[in-house]
Amino acid sequence: MKGKIDKEGLLLIERVGIYEKQGCPYKRSWCGDMCPLFGEPFTMIICGCGPSVDEIVEKQRWRLELCKKTLAFDEFEDERVFRTQFVERKLNG
């Protein structure tokens, strides 16, 4: 499965070659990082056997914890621009 977080912080999942915004199960809004139950994506390395028993294959998978489940992705992009400059300007006046 392929997914991404867009520049606005919304979760999109690829369905039939097109990235679609995902809806929130609790509100009439989109699923995204504005929700306190939206986790940060992280990677995991999964090991398994290759075509032969002696071969070990490692694959990187992305995981994203949400309010009702944890999603696993083969490919994942985080397009957010972190707002550190905005926060610094707010704090410094």
What is the per-residue pLDDT for 93? 53
pLDDT tens digits for range 22-66? 999 999 999 999 999 999 999 988 877 767 667 777 788 999 999
What is the per-residue pLDDT for 77? 94
Residues in the chain: 93
Q: Is the pLDDT of residue 79 over 90?
A: yes
Q: Are 60 and 43 in contact (CB under 8 A)?
A: yes
What is the per-residue pLDDT for 48? 74
